[in-house]
Structure 1
């Protein structure tokens, strides 16, 4: 690596910030990474449970074969390919008092893999399966307005309520962290096309076999420091100094002044306005003020007297007609349960959430009893993703800003993707390309 002599300050140590910092340090920039928390990783990290000493993530994150930028970055970090299911998609489903079949998409040339998988999906009637195939055949050729919801789009496609319940709603919650009524149809359709209609192996599911910090955070910090970069934790940006539409420095909460050639904000949209003065915000960034966030709740359940394999086969299962959307096996005695789009649950007490989950597990699995739980942990991520309703695309900022040496990265920027790890990492590559084009000429 050759040092360029250029300096950059990256604000925010989540995945967008880590990817931006590692990639720019590799391009020869002297990097300073600033994070307000005592740890890196943002909304994607792992930690040790105090009671069991098990390492758990702050929430289950699934990667896919279509995560081009994420897999490219992991390779750059020297990380081995995470555990994956292969090219076959096999998603079992469960519902209270009802036996459901799995969605199995076989290894066949595109689009035959989808046609065969849908035709075998017996949670739907044969007529409903044909309606689903018809919608899929229309997808590549549709121009979807920015202003309609997924629910309205599905009505236009003739998708009935049973199709929404047993197929579309689980997929929408997983992809968008939003209900059908609240999610942008344009963004959702873009994600579906990318996952299922580009390459056959893009739809494969990849489940990390290590903690998220071990996978992303630790190797990123090591690389930044190895390349001579600086990582500052427990540091907040107090003020950004601006002159002639250019940043001249930033003041931290400890009153230190830091200066660089380039500045990249990689904080989530919920924190962006905390680092931008009102006059700068009103002049340049007012359009993004309408963006909101959507929560996710994760519940870890440690079992005794029963093994997780006795509840269901496979590494995870989707749930219908329950508050639970997904259940993942983390070990022989540990389950991780996900509640996406948890707007109506996020303000409940943790004990209340746990009791609700235990009740649903008892209904879903005949062999499960609440007395088998020896420990539980409820994790609330109030700002897990940015909210992605219709019209949200109009308000997502581009990477380049009217401030000459200031760039924005983050899954909430105008990546064309939903709020995913892939969106965060893609935004970093976009920011790095712009910075290098401008400062390494």
Structure 2
């Protein structure tokens, strides 16, 4: 597993999720010898696929926005941009099944007008809010645009408190702010840091007209984050070792690092720990961080995904969001999964603390009737299969105060760096944040090694 020349600049990346793959590619592109170690038998971290009979299943539905410039770089770098295209223009169908007079469909749309006028027409026509509530949302959006998400004081308050101070009704929170915020933050407004909420809404809705246009993979996630990522790593000269668990990281004589893994020891000039916060805490050597235990104070939040296979087509749209029901977002995964016996719908349920451990039978009894309420065509359809996937630690919890807990890429130990969406990227736990953390860790390592390095994103340089 070690290189032929032990004196050559060598980096070891621990963790083969999106953050680790990004760091490995950046380091290899800069001319370093790179070894990537991943404990699982695949790459991709928590954005992966698996087989269920003839079906290819994503563990959960992952989307990104046009403003996610780092993740878009990642897709380009692994030659996958064409497999995960972005909408031409933001258009989110929102179905309220509890509306007076019966289910009512609305849409969150934008136009090509400049910010903030690009959302004015869509908001004015949004039927799930009263005229007064729409006007109040517009005023709150303008107030949001005037604040700085980097202000440390914002991290200490929750989003719901700020929304309440700006006149947002419970209905406005449910039908708009949480509709977007739960999916992007994995927390409802009372449990979300105002700093992270401000970052999401300012960047996604108020930075440029097309910022919130939605992109998603039209193929299984494993084809992107595992197959194509592995191909890109191989082409870059990265040595990738799967099913290889790291047992320890220690300082060697001469200032280099020793990484014990897979029965061997690798020697490295730089080590990037691109693993979850608890795993990083366990692997960090003594003295590598001031107050290392604060990593254990970064909470986690679950996501539940419900998978339903019908014997016929019951949904004509690629996705929709829902109100007045436990259902949050529904996606058509038929083509991507290879299912040919009808239609495969995936329900993405964020902030799922209350039901993450519910038995499948309980979830089936809850969600099949809700889908029948939302989709009349489902009432006469036969269910081929119903199953769930659970990510109990899907993201870090974006709770108020989390900003002071998230570490930067550099540690106190020269040559040892951190990456992962839970680090101090300024973003919530998204694929975008993961890529940005990989950039930061690789950039810090290359700077310390005296290697010339240009940040892939000019705006973040």
TM-score bin, normalised by smaller chain: over 0.9
Quote the residue 2:310 is aligned against. 303
Map 1:138-157 to 2 at 5 A: 138-143=143-148, 145-157=154-166
Counting only pairs closer than 5 Å after superposition, residues 112-261 of structure 1 correspond to structure 2 as 112-143=117-148, 145-242=154-251, 248-252=257-261, 254-261=262-269
- For 1:297 and 1:62, the matched residues in 2 are separated by 15
Are 2:324 and 1:321 aligned? yes
Sort the Cα spacing of 1:283 and 1:433 in 2 relative to 1 into closer, same or farther, 3 A.
Answer: closer
1:273 to 243, 268, 281: 281
Change in Cα spacing, 1:207 to 1:227, as seen in structure 2 (3 Å) is: closer
Per-residue CA deviations over 1:262-319 (Å, capped at 9, x if unaligned) read 0000001132223235x44775522222001101011111101x3133xxx4211111
Report the equivalent of 2:370.
360
More displaced 10-residue stretch of structure 1: 172-181 or 104-113: 104-113
8 Å CA contact 1:247–1:403 kept in 2: the answer is: no
CA contact (8 A) 1:270 1:293 kept: no
Aligned positions, number: 431
Distance 1:378 1:400 in 2: 38
* Gap runs ≥5 in structure 1: none
Judge conservation of contact 2:186–2:395 (CA < 8 Å) in 1: yes
Partner of 2:89: 87
Quote the residue 2:47 is aligned against: 44
Q: Tell me if the contact between 2:156 and 2:193 (Cα under 8 Å) persists in the aligned partners.
A: yes
SS state at 2:190 partner:
coil
How far, CA to CA, are the matches of 2:280 and 2:324 in structure 1? 37
1:405 and 1:166 map into 2 onto residues whose CA distance is: 47
Q: Distance in 1 between matches of 2:254 and 2:433?
A: 28
The alpha-carbon deviation at position 226 of structure 1 amounts to 2.8
Is residue 2:390 matched to residue 1:384?
no
Name the SS of the counterpart of 1:238 in structure 2.
strand
TM-score computed with the length of structure 2 as normaliser: 0.89
Q: Which moved more, 1:364-373 or 1:40-49?
A: 364-373
Say if 1:105 and 1:113, in contact at 8 Å, map to a contact too: yes
Offset of residue 141 of structure 1: 1.2
> 1:440/1:357 Cα in 2 relative to 1: closer, same or farther (>3 Å)?
same
Equivalent residue in structure 2 for 1:13, among 16, 19, 42 = 16
- 1:392-417 per-residue CA deviation (whole Å, 9 max, x = no partner) reads 00000000110101011110000000
Structure 2 gaps of 5+ residues are: 335-341, 452-461
Moved more, 176-185 or 233-242: 233-242
Distance 1:363 1:90 in 2: 19
Which aligned runs of 4 or more in structure 1 are off by greater than 6 angstroms?
A: none
Q: Pick one of 333, 346, 351 that aligns with 1:330.
A: 333
The alignment's TM-score, normalised by the length of structure 1, stands at 0.92
Deviation at 1:243, TM superposition (A): 6.0
Report the Cα distance in structure 1 between the residues aligned to 2:140 and 2:94, rounded to whole angstroms: 22
